[in-house]
Amino acid sequence: METIQYALKQALGIKFGTFTIENLATALITFIVCFVAIKIIMKILKPVINKLPIDETLHRFSLSIIKALLYFITAVMVLQSFGISASSLIALFSVVGLAVSLAVQGSLSNLANGIVLLITKPFLVGDFIETGSISGTVKEIGLVHTKLMTFDNKTIFIPNSDISASKIINYSSAPLRRVDLYFDTSYNAKAEDVKKAILKAVNNCNVFLNDPPACVNVSSYKDSSIEYFVRAWVKTDDYWTGYYDLIEKVKTEFDTNNIEMTYNHINVHMIKE
């Protein structure tokens, strides 16, 4: 028995450079214990984080950050088993982290803004938005960029930092939208006839709602025409259908009622002496 203990002691004392078998064994045991502990911790935290009222992308990101932090702590503990100072390791990782952050500061800015977008939720997947000079349907909100699909079926990837720095218009946040259109008619057309024709065009479109009711009024008196505006409500998904359908229906009603849609012109009156 003493012989076995002596042999084991001698084996643990064998050195490979600055490392010993004892250090390697301690490091291996530390890694296995930490690995098992990480699995248990992540299994407990996953359902807890998934219940938080945040986007699914942020769920995955939060779990990844926690997992990376736990593995970082494991790496420090394992390296400590070889006699390396924890403060030296943290200082080394700090320098490396600073160098990496300077190299990818643009990506880190997009990442930070992506987290802000996922938390504040100015828009959701499926919403039609306008940001900057770009508009489209949101297909994906990532941590680095947001993917939009335009009307002509183009996919646009916009960096999250650009979105956060721009004005965001969300056209899908409310269940109803109002269609606003303007029409110019001749001064010869009676205002009452024009308003009746436009309202009839609204009623001929199946997508417009009766509540709130549509309204038509004179908007302004121009040099060559009278401008009327119409405001009618539709469900958000039917906005563009109602918009283009109303334009066509108004022209049909104007033609039926002999209402002239005028354009910029100058009337010259000749006076004979």
CB 81 within 8 A of CB 30: yes
Indicate the class that CATH gives domain 125-170. mainly beta
Quote the mean pLDDT of the chain.
82
pLDDT in tens, 11-46: 444 444 455 677 778 888 888 888 899 899 888 888
Vertex 189, ends 184 and 192: CA angle to 5°? 95
Query: Per residue in 123-180, pLDDT tens?
Result: 888 899 999 889 999 998 887 889 999 988 999 999 988 998 889 999 988 899 999 9
Q: What backbone torsions phi and psi does residue 253 show, to the nearest 5 degrees?
A: -70, -40
Task: Give me the residue spans of the domains in the chain.
Answer: 2-103, 125-170, 176-256
Q: How many helices (H) and strands (E) does the chain have?
A: 8, 10
What pLDDT digit, counting tens, does each position of 236-273 carry?
999 999 999 999 999 999 999 999 988 766 777 778 76
Strand, coil or helix: 49? helix
pLDDT of residue 68: 81
CATH number assigned to the domain with residue range 2-103, chosen from the 4 options 1.10.287, 1.10.3470, 1.10.10, 3.30.70 = 1.10.287
Average pLDDT, integer, range 172-201: 93
Confidence of residue 100 (pLDDT cuts 50, 70, 90): low
Closest to 211 in 3D by CA, of 232, 228, 238, 195: 232
* Backbone phi, psi, residue 203, to 5°: -65, -25
DSSP SS3 for 260: coil
Question: Can you name the CATH fold of 176-256?
Answer: Alpha-Beta Plaits (3.30.70)
Measured between alpha carbons, how far is 198 from 250 in angstroms, rounded to an integer? 6
